[in-house]
Amino acid sequence: MGLHGLFRDVSSDEADDQAARMRLQVYLLWGTLLYERSVVEYKLGLPTWEECLEVAVEKFELAGASTTDIGVMIKNHCSNETAMEGFKIDEIVQAWNEMYDGWQFDVPSFRLEPLFRRRVPKLHYILEQF
């Protein structure tokens, strides 16, 4: 596979547009990482979770997320007592312990077996071949 045709000349307007879209994607990813970090910090009882959540909201705003979407995200944060139930750290630890015990005794874990049986997505296969 040659590299010809991979790169092309773009106008300055198109380059600016691509840079702006990339910037928004970076802010969105950054906000998502900070949001997930705030969830973990909250579950661990660290006092810095609120600051992390505030910065995540700022990044989502810079990414152009609507105030409605941001409001739903904050409402669903695990610190909100009325938030929908998500993963509980105890369930994750229990699944990990079962997987480890199964590995030690060559017994497959019934909780993780369905995940292991899933077919690899076609996109993953295509990316591996690239």
DSSP string, 74-122: HHTSTTSTTSPP---HHHHHHHHHHHHHHHHTT---TTTHHHHHSPPPH
Contact 96, 59 (CB under 8 A): no
DSSP secondary structure letter of residue 10 = -
State the Cα–Cα distance between residues 83 and 89, nearest whole angstrom: 16
Domain identity same for 79 and 55: yes
Q: Rounded to whole angstroms, how far apart are CA atoms 104 and 61? A: 47
Q: 18 and 65 share a domain? A: yes
110-116: average pLDDT: 52
Structural contact between residues 35 and 27, judged by C-beta atoms closer than 8 angstroms:
no
Query: Is the same domain home to 56 and 117?
Result: no
pLDDT, greater one: 124 or 17: 17
Domain that holds residue 121: 87-130
pLDDT (average), residues 47-55: 92
Are residues 100 and 54 part of one domain?
A: no
- pTM reported for the whole predicted model: 0.56
pLDDT for position 78: 77
Tell me the average pLDDT across 73-84. Answer: 71
Domain total for the chain?
2
